[in-house]
Amino acid sequence: MVDEHRKKGTAERVKGAVKEGIGKVTGDEEKEAEGKAQRKKGEVQDKYGEAKDKVRDKL
C-alpha cells in the first residue's frame, strides 16, 4: 500500500517539471521558478510518504 503523500508528491513533481519546461521554452523565468519550487515541494512530499511507508512496514 502506497501512502497518499507519495501519490500527491509524484503528481506535484510531474506538474512542476512540466511548468518548469514550459518556462524554459517560453523564456518565462517566473514560470520556470514556480515549476522548480513545485517540483521540489513534490519531492519533499514524496519523501515524507516514503518515510511513513517504511515506518508502517516495520510495524
Q: What pLDDT band is residue 56 in, cutting at 50, 70 and 90?
A: confident
CA–CA distances in Å: residue 47 to residues 8, 34, 42, 53 = 11, 20, 9, 10
Distance between CA 6 and CA 43 in Å, rounded?
Answer: 9
Q: Would you say how long the chain is, in residues?
A: 59
Q: pLDDT digits over 1-54, tens only?
A: 677 888 999 999 999 999 999 999 999 999 999 999 999 999 999 999 889 888
